[in-house]
Amino acid sequence: MSSHNIIPSLLHLPVELTYRILDHLAPSDILVSVRDVCSRLNAITNIYPRFQTLVTLDLLSNGIDDDEGACCLADALKINQAITRLDLTRNNIGPQGAQHLADALKINQTLKILSLSDNTIGEEGACYLSDALKINKTLVTLHLHGNRINDKGAQCFADMMMINQVTHNFITLTKLNLRSACIDFEGAQFLGDALRSNRTLTELDISFNRIGDDGAQYLGNGLKNNQVKEKEYLVICHILINIFLTVTENIDDSNEQY
């Protein structure tokens, strides 16, 4: 007998043995390593029970980077029709990784919740994602807590929020978390202008940013002039208490009109 044992290819194993191998793989490994290798493996994983029920994928703190991890996940999301929640919090995803995921969002029709909190997508990555959300019709919640998107990133999301006013092509995003995102009063001005016309966003978290009194006033004015019955709920920190009360009064006054 030869000392060099021939290891059979996964592509030629009986289905039952393939299932046994899949039983020892994490769902994320199946998604990025087994899917789309060939039509046979796709057919097998399509009816594999664990993969059929995979709707939540938690990859928090997994060291995922731009080139390999984010790119592979993005390719999988372009095809996957099951996952509704993807958590990529605290990885090493930068602007390029955000671009890969944004490209996937333009195609994916099932993902509803995406968390990229505590990554390094920056303002460039924020703009990639906001552009994708002008096309995407399923994502309802986006968490970007702890990313330094700066005022430019806030402007990109403001432009995305205002798309309904120009094209009547309403976005589906209802919750946007920009907590601790290095947004100053200029970014708050962009977001305040967007709130005047936005018809879909119901929750915007910009706490722990340095928007100051002026930024809070911009947001308050945006809420006061919003003509939509379903008002936005804002979480605002690092502002004087009287400015916070002004914003709250603007919400109450607007609601009393309906």
pLDDT for residue 104: 97
* 48, 60: one domain: no
Write out pLDDT tens, residues 23-59: 878 776 776 666 666 777 777 777 777 776 678 999 9
pLDDT for residue 170: 66
Q: Are strands 56-58 and 85-87 parallel, antiparallel or unpaired?
A: parallel
Domain with 27, as residue range(s), is: 8-53
- Dist. CA 83–CA 78, nearest whole Å: 11
* 20, 63: one domain: no
Please give the average per-residue pLDDT across 13-29, as a whole number. 77
**Residue 236 CA from chain centroid, whole number:** 21
* 17, 139: one domain: no
Other beta carbons less than 10 A from residue 25's beta carbon: 14
- Say whether pLDDT at 72 is over 90: no
* 138, 248: one domain: yes
pLDDT for residue 165: 56
Write out pLDDT tens, residues 74-102: 988 998 888 999 999 999 999 999 999 99
- Dist. CA 142–CA 101, nearest whole Å: 12
Please give the average per-residue pLDDT across 207-222, as a whole number. 88
* 161, 211: one domain: yes
Structural domain contains residue 3: no
Structural domain contains residue 1: no
Look up the CATH number of the domain holding residue 219. Answer: 3.80.10.10
Q: What is the number of structural domains in the chain?
A: 2
- Check: CB of residue 251 under 8 Å from CB of residue 223: yes
Structural domain contains residue 2: no
**What does residue 54 show for φ and ψ, rounded to 5 degrees?**
-80, 100
pLDDT for residue 244: 45
From 23-32, 56-65, 152-161, 227-236, the region with the lowest mean pLDDT: 227-236
Write out pLDDT tens, residues 175-203: 999 999 999 999 999 999 998 888 788 88
Q: What's the one-letter identity of residue 157?
A: F
- Dist. CA 208–CA 142, nearest whole Å: 17
- Check: CB of residue 105 under 8 Å from CB of residue 139: yes
* 157, 214: one domain: yes
pLDDT over 90, % of the chain: 44
- Check: CB of residue 131 under 8 Å from CB of residue 160: yes
List the structure tokens of 162: 């205002």
pTM equals 0.80
From 140-154, 168-182, 220-234, the region with the lowest mean pLDDT: 220-234
From 12-21, 97-106, 136-145, 193-202, the region with the lowest mean pLDDT: 12-21
pLDDT for residue 36: 60
CA distances from 199 to 88, 184, 222, 230 (A): 28, 24, 13, 8
